[in-house]
Structure 1
Amino acid sequence: MNCRFVCCHECDEICTIPHPTPPGRYRCPNCGHVIFRHWPDMTERIYATNLAALFLFVLINYFPLLSFEVLGNRAEATFTTAVLYLYQEGDYLIAVAVLMTTLIVPLIRILLNLALFGPLYHGRLPRYAPTAMKLLEAFGPWGMLDVFMIGILVSIVKLVKMGTIVPGISLWAFAVLIPILAYGQAIFDPHPVWEEIEKAQREGRIPSPTERIA
């Protein structure tokens, strides 16, 4: 069995990993940090989870998030109206931050995963795979749906004493979307994708960095 080398993200130790890599969790022998978890069917799982996430994302933005009724007056709120209310109140930076972290960035990540792992699922590596991987890494820290969910729960607890709150379809879809995205992020291992990219670059199926510079 051949070996490949992986650099530990914590201590920079060069670790040897058997190749082909058996399923399991691999730790750095120096510091014990988990280098990565190998899932043989990672492509299929990530493709399926992001298809489900895209469907839920459409539901979240189409149906009401919750309904609030006080003295017979009823109002419905959606994700987009929440951003609009913040903007109308003059909280421009907060409105932009909520828009980016709860709508734009999560949608971009879902579409990038589908654009990358969809072709991989069908046995084809797209030419834009290196760019997609770099964008996924760049947008990773900006997805904060779980933080927004906590804010919604806190707001519901505070408002429940003032009137009647009815959770909408969007809220339930949002509650399902968070663990699905978390699961997809937990099983994501960039190593086999980068290995496939390097192999394709050596074979000339996709341009190498030196060719793009030239």
Structure 2
Amino acid sequence: MIRVVLADDEQLIRSGWTAMLALHDDIEVVGEAADGREAVEAGTGADVVLMDIRMPRLNGLAATQELARRSPATRVIVVTTFENDQLVWGALRAGAAGYVLKRAPLDELVEAVRLVHSRSAVLFPDALRRIAGPHHGRSKPRVPVELTPREHDVLRQIALGRNNAEIAATLYVSVETVKTHVRHVLDKLDARDRTQAAVIAYELGLLFPGAEEPLMRAGPCP
């Protein structure tokens, strides 16, 4: 069972999410929050938190950062109108696993909850690349991040939103090999999950918006 907390200052939105999620046997709404501080308290220990960005007392960015500190296993999905790229990017840097648009179909929200809970892929990579850019960057680390060519291949596939099976098929390696490479990438980037790895990679110039096209392989390669 996926335990979900809903954080939005509009009761009507929370009620709609609750009614929709209740239709799915593998998801249970275990709490609600009308502001960021309530979101931190209610979300601590939950599996997934649906987090509005603009809320009273504490905004979604700050609440996400605090949740990442208090409850590292809790996955935050930022729910936004996408009107402010800087806020979305800040939330991803703060530790959000991904985001969905408030105008998106409700079944997309359900899919997002299941996806981040499974930790299998990055949510909505096209939008992630859209808001990535040099003005979001941070200073280069003193010791440059050094990835092997294969780890960089895997990082590119992560940024495209591929899951382990899709990466394995693209690179002609086993799923277990992909898992090993993913683990090494996360360790080297000091990232808590795939989404944060993609964010860090854009910030450090390891990936560039629009450049991460699927790799075309003529056949198996090491």
Q: TM-score, normalised by structure 2?
A: 0.22
Could you say which structure has the higher helix fraction? 1
Work out which structure has the larger RCO, using CA pairs closer than 8 Å and 6 or more positions apart in sequence: 1
